[in-house]
Amino acid sequence: MTTTGLLRPHAEQVYAGELAALADEDKRPRPPSWRLSPQAVVTYLLGGTLGDGTPVAPKYIGPRRLVEVAVATLATDRALLLLGVPGTAKTWVSEHLAAAISGDSTLLVQGTSGTAEEAIRYGWNYARLLAEGPTRAALVPSPVMTAMAGGRIARVEELTRIPSDVQDALITILSEKTLPVPELGTEVQAVKGFSVIATANDRDRGVNELSSALRRRFNTVVLPLPASEDEEVGIVARRVEELGRALELPEVPSAIEEIRRVVTVFRELRSGVTADQRTRLKSPTGTLSPAEAISVVTSGIALAAHFGDGVLRPADVAAGIVGAVVKDPVSDAAVWSEYLEAVARERPGWTDFYRACREAGA
């Protein structure tokens, strides 16, 4: 399928060329039903250059060992739980792992407070059910059932947003590798290669805690926030460029200065101290993750391209950054005002940014 005109193509569509090149070069042993060997999956995620000179773009920037542990988990009979604060690329990593291993990242259950058990097990076409009774033709398989039957990876997003009794539908699937269908007196047995990648948000602890029985069936990998400012700037710049191409935004001159400024603000407010360790700060209620920085900069580029002079300036990112920081109009507004007066106002070269943020928050 062509990706032309699609707002958000799947990973296996965007990077089809890289996946094909990796598969052609990959001579290492592959687990059953895998498209690539575990080493090639890690190369796909972290980037590199193939023997024929084909470049593989990095999809995730972070500790190599974390990616190796995640891939090794999926090569066993254990499911994988990616845990972290919002914006640490859990969904991104989950999608690319499924694309590299199964060639299909679309077998997805989106977790919400309204997710029903049928989304994990199976449902019914009720018109056929009433007309024919329970038959195989009337059964509507869930993404998890489809993955089991095909030896592929199923993804469960925001697992802790799903009600606890619905979560527990995964226990039999993950422990016995079967999905009983008592209405038909049969079951679906998992084909080798089947596994589940779930994601969960650190901030959602206590919403719908995983039972100990379910937690034992996952290997947990915690995805951290970027360790250094340069690493975070690189992540944001790369994703902003990719999004700009996908959204066909007009090109603007290098935005790295404003990207670094946004990242600096977010990192300082997140950590509660300025980069030089001289000034203690209060932290807002929001996460201020790389994902939010990407959103702020992308919106700023759209403003600069369509309503400005084509150069990303402080005024273009000011409204977005204020909106990202001030989630609570009382407590966060005070935190932001203190940051502007104590840090931004006094920092050399930040006068325009200070004024733009003051005007945006007025």
- 321 and 174 in one domain? no
Judge residue 316's burial from the number of C-beta atoms within 10 Å of its C-beta, 0-12 exposed, 13-18 middle, 19 or more buried: buried
Question: Looking at residue 286, what is its pLDDT?
Answer: 85
Same domain, 195 and 46: yes
Is residue 114 pLDDT above 80, yes or no?
A: yes
> Mind listing the pLDDT tens digit for each residue in 274-312?
999 999 999 998 889 999 999 999 999 999 999 998 899
pLDDT at 117: 95
Give the pLDDT band (50/70/90) at residue 2.
low
* 197 and 242 belong to one structural domain: no
Residue 192 within a domain? yes
Domain coverage including residue 289: 229-360
Same-domain status, 236 and 350: yes
The verdict on 200 and 247 lying in the same domain is no
Q: 85 and 199: one domain? A: yes
Q: Name the more confident of 209 and 196.
A: 196
pLDDT score recorded for residue 77:
86
In a domain, 145, yes or no: yes
Q: What is the mean pLDDT of the segment spanning 312-337?
A: 93
Q: Is residue 185 part of a domain?
A: yes
CATH number of domain containing 70 = 3.40.50.300
345: pLDDT strictly greater than 60:
yes
Report residue 317's pLDDT band, with 50, 70 and 90 as the boundaries: very high
Closest CA to 98 of 1, 199, 231: 199
- Indicate if the pLDDT at residue 204 is higher than 60: no
Model pLDDT, residue 123: 95
Strands in 93-206 per DSSP E: 108-110, 122-124, 139-141, 153-157, 178-181, 186-189, 195-201
User: Helix (H) and strand (E) counts for the chain?
Assistant: 16, 11
Is 1 part of any domain?
Answer: no
Q: Are residues 75 and 204 both part of a single domain? A: yes
- For residue range 38-97, list pLDDT tens digits in order: 999 999 999 999 988 899 999 999 899 999 999 999 999 899 999 998 888 999 999 999
Residue 121 has pLDDT above 60, yes or no: yes
Same domain membership, residue 253 and residue 310: yes
Asked if 123 and 140 count as a contact pair (C-beta separation under 8 A), the reply is: yes
**pLDDT interval class at 247 (50, 70, 90):** confident
Q: Does pTM top 0.85 for this prediction? A: yes
Give the type of residue at 210: L
Mapped onto helix, strand or coil, the DSSP state of residue 357 is helix
Last residue of a domain, one of 191, 222, 253: 222
Q: How many domains does the chain have?
A: 2
Using the 3D structure, point to which of 166, 197, 222 is the last residue of a domain. 222
Residue 99 pLDDT > 90? yes
In the chain, the percentage of residues whose pLDDT exceeds 70 is 97
Q: Assign 248 a pLDDT band (cuts: 50, 70, 90).
A: confident
Same domain, 57 and 72: yes
Q: Which of 172, 200, 222 is the last residue of a domain?
A: 222
Specify if 300 maps to a domain. Answer: yes
Q: pLDDT tens, 124-164? A: 999 999 999 999 999 999 999 999 999 999 999 999 999 99
Q: Based on the domain organization, do 89 and 234 belong to the same domain?
A: no
Pair (195, 270) in one structural domain: no
262 with 279, same domain: the answer is yes
